[in-house]
Amino acid sequence: MKKIIVASKNPVKINTALGGFKKMFPNEEFEIEGVSVPSGVSDQPKTDEETFNGANNRSLAAKEQYPEADFWVGIEGGISDDGSEMTSFAWVVIQGKENMGKSRTGTFLLSPKVAELIRGGLELGDADDKIFGMKNSKQQNGAVGILTKDLLTRESFYEVSVILALIPFKNPEIY
């Protein structure tokens, strides 16, 4: 049995990681645990680079704190703001014992009302909760789920990137 440490206690990120591993390695058995580690970036990363650094920092901190595991997963959601439009995306970084994989989700446009609240200092999840009258949406369907009416959920949105980040582990002979 392989042990996965997810660098978050958010159930969405834990379920996303497990789902991706199970799809990529259907004949393996996994034990998974979510842990709290620092991202080393702001609570609401505002650039592609900062978002990647958050995911990478989380995966490395988890690896340092839980060296007995086989995989360490960092997932960090972020935004990009060009001043007129704001988009949302996430980075996934997976550390292995000897290699790593990474992938970025697709990007989607946030509403001007949500963007205004984020520019005012709120995190995306808090802005969504305020605009859509929800509570703790970031641990549920997230912005992507709200905006697609759950055609995509935060889990399904992130899971593809977990699978893509696992490519080097699925193909070790060429990575």
Domains and CATH numbers, the chain: 2-109+153-170 (3.90.950.10)
Where does residue 89 rank: exposed (0-12), middle (13-18), buried (19+ CB within 10 A)?
buried
What is the spatial distance between Cα 136 and Cα 81, in angstroms, rounded to a whole number? 23
What's the mean pLDDT when you consider all of the chain?
A: 94
pLDDT in tens, 129-142: 888 887 766 666 78
What is the spatial distance between Cα 141 and Cα 154, in angstroms, rounded to a whole number? 5
Which parts of the chain have pLDDT scores under 70? 136-140
Return the pLDDT at 29.
97
Q: Whole-prediction pTM value? A: 0.93
What letter would DSSP give residue 29? -
Return the pLDDT at 139.
61
3-state helix, strand, coil in the chain (%, to 5): 40, 20, 35
